[in-house]
Amino acid sequence: MTGRLVLGLGGTVDYEISWDAATIERLVVEHDIRAAELSTGIPVDSERSLLVTLLAFVRDGAGGERFVASSDVVTGLAARFDTRVTLGGTCVRAALGLAAVGVGSTVHLVSIDDHVRRLLPPSVDYLCSADADSLDPHLIVQYPAGTRIRAGDLDLHAPHANRLIYVHDPPNRELRLHPGLGEALSRADVFLVSGLNSIQSPAVLARRLGELRAAVDRLPAGALTFYEDAGYHVPSIAAAARAGVLELADVYSMNEDELGERLGRSVDLLDPTAVVSALRALTGLVPAPVVVVHTKYWSVALGADAGRFEDALSGGIALASARYLAGDGLTADSVRAVATRPVHPGGAAVVAAVRTAFGARAAGVPAYVLDTSVPTSIGLGDTFVGGFLAATTQKLILE
pLDDT tens, residue by residue, 195-228: 999 999 999 999 999 999 999 999 999 999 999 9
Between CA 208 and CA 163 the distance in angstroms is 28
Does one domain contain both 214 and 259? yes
Together in a domain, 321 and 202? yes
Cα–Cα distances (Å) from 357 to 94, 136, 192, 275, 352, in that order, read 31, 46, 29, 11, 9
Q: Are residues 46 and 98 in the same domain?
A: no
Q: Which of 118, 148, 167 is the last residue of a domain?
A: 167
**Are 147 and 183 found together in one domain?**
no
* Claim to verify: residue 318 and residue 295 sit in the same structural domain: yes
Residue 351 belongs to domain with CATH number: 3.40.1190.20
Query: 70 and 202: one domain?
Result: no
Residue 181 CA, chain-centre distance (Å), reads 22
- The answer, yes or no, to whether residue 2 has pLDDT greater than 50, is no
**Residues of the domain holding 106:** 5-12+88-132+170-398
Q: Kindly tell me if the per-residue pLDDT of 342 is higher than 70.
A: yes
Spatial contact of 136 and 168, defined as CB atoms under 8 Å apart? yes
Same domain, 60 and 45: yes
Spatial distance between the Cα atoms of 33 and 5, rounded to a whole number of angstroms: 46
Percentage of residues in the chain with pLDDT exceeding 90?
A: 92
Confidence at 161, pLDDT banded by 50, 70, 90: confident
Tell me: do 146 and 294 sit in the same domain. no
Tell me the pLDDT band of 395, cut-offs 50, 70 and 90: low
Residue 213: CB atoms within 10 Å: 12
Q: What digits encode the pLDDT tens for the residues 241-259?
A: 999 999 999 999 999 999 9
CA distance linking residue 63 with residue 61, whole number of Å:
7
Encode pLDDT of 21-57 as tens digits.
999 999 999 999 999 999 999 999 999 999 999 999 9
What's the CA gap between 115 and 163, in Å, rounded? Answer: 22
What confidence score (pLDDT) does residue 393 get?
A: 82
Q: Are 171 and 159 in contact (CB under 8 A)?
A: no
What is the domain count for the chain? 2
Measured in degrees and rounded to the nearest 5, phi and psi for residue 21 equal -60, -35
The CATH number assigned to the domain holding 30 equals 3.30.1110.20
Does 239 or 373 have the greater pLDDT score?
A: 239
Answer yes or no: do 246 and 109 share one domain: yes
Stretch 116-136: mean pLDDT? 96
Residue 399 pLDDT more than 50? no
Compute the average pLDDT of residues 108-118: 97
CA–CA dist 47, 44 (Å, integer)? 8
Q: What is the pLDDT of residues 61-100, one digit of tens each?
A: 998 889 999 999 999 999 999 999 999 999 999 999 999 9
> Which parts of the chain fold into alpha helices (H)?
21-31, 47-60, 71-78, 90-100, 114-119, 170-174, 181-185, 202-216, 235-246, 256-263, 272-285, 310-326, 332-338, 345-358, 380-391
The reported pTM is 0.91
In order, the DSSP letters of 193-217 are E--GGG---HHHHHHHHHHHHHHHT
* Residues 208 and 160 grouped into a single domain: no
Q: What is the mean pLDDT of residues 342-350?
A: 98
Rounded-to-integer distance, Cα 322 and Cα 312, Å = 15
The verdict on 264 and 187 lying in the same domain is: yes
Whether 377 and 250 map to the same domain: the answer is yes
Mean pLDDT for 132-160 is: 95
